[in-house]
């Protein structure tokens, strides 16, 4: 999904800059601008790929581990008993690609446990599983 966004952004920017430079400065300037935009698009595509690969989660017996971050790695451990509710969201572009984001809400204000880019079925399964585990762990407290 993010690669499609980068490709669309790159194509639109390349077309606009190419036309503007071609009309005002000539062919060589338009080619240089086009090359610069394509290099920017390649760099963004590389970064998006690294960012996608940096996300991960693992369901354990008593908690959920979420890891993320390209330059600064973050590891969040969310005990099932501390979860207040689990939310599944999907914006318009995510819906186009049949993806969803699972957000975990706890009492801690600093909690930012979310898992983006899950297929709809996996997001629903994870939501149901986390809700079930959260209820059973909270009942035992």
pLDDT at position 95 is 93
Give yes or no for residue 141 having a pLDDT over 60: no
* Whether residue 139 has pLDDT greater than 80: no
pLDDT at 26: 77
pLDDT value at position 112? 67
Closest residue by Cα to residue 129 from 104, 99, 112: 104
- Tracing tokens 């819906």 back to the chain, one arrives at 95
What pLDDT, in 10s, does the model give residues 74-106? 998 888 888 888 899 999 999 999 999 999 888
């Amino acid at each position: 999904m993010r690669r499609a966004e980068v490709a669309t952004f790159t194509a639109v920017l390349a077309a606009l800059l190419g036309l503007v430079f071609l009309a005002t400065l000539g062919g060589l300037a338009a080619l240089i601008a086009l090359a610069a935009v394509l290099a920017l698009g390649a760099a963004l595509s590389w970064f998006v790929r690294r960012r996608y690969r940096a996300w991960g989660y693992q369901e354990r017996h008593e908690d959920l581990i979420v890891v993320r971050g390209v330059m600064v790695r973050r590891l969040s451990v969310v005990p099932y008993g501390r979860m207040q509710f689990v939310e599944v969201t999907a914006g318009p572009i995510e819906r186009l690609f049949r993806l969803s984001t699972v957000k975990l809400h706890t009492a801690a204000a600093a909690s930012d446990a979310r898992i983006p880019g899950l297929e709809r079925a996996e997001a629903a399964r994870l939501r149901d599983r986390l809700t079930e585990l959260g209820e059973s762990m909270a009942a035992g407290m």
